[in-house]
Amino acid sequence: MADKKYFVLMKGGADTGQVFASRQPRGAALKAATRGAQDIRLRERGTKRVHVFKGWTQMVDKPANGPAWLPDRVKKANVKKVGIEHL
């Protein structure tokens, strides 16, 4: 079982206080997109890699098997990987 990796959200070339944990950079990018980020730059802790994504959200109908407390329309995050930069 692979360990979690930690990705720090970057804004303006500097780290922010937001850290996302996921096995893959895409999972961390989806979490950032859910919080409203559009130009997503995630620095992987312990490496010199910065994963670059474009993110957006859409309002979609709730899933058929969704719980009763879930609203009829929910926010769904999407990301597209642009590339990797090296520091």
The beta-strand segments (E) located in 2-69 are 5-11, 14-22, 39-44, 49-61
pTM of this prediction exceeds 0.95: no
Question: Along the 87 residues of the chain, how does pLDDT read in single tens digits?
Answer: 678 999 999 999 899 999 999 999 999 999 999 999 999 999 999 999 999 999 999 999 999 999 999 999 999 999 999 999 998
Written as one letter, the residue type at 76 is K
Say how far residue 35 (Cα) sits from the centre of its chain: 8
Question: Which residues sit opposite 40 in a β-bridge?
Answer: 53
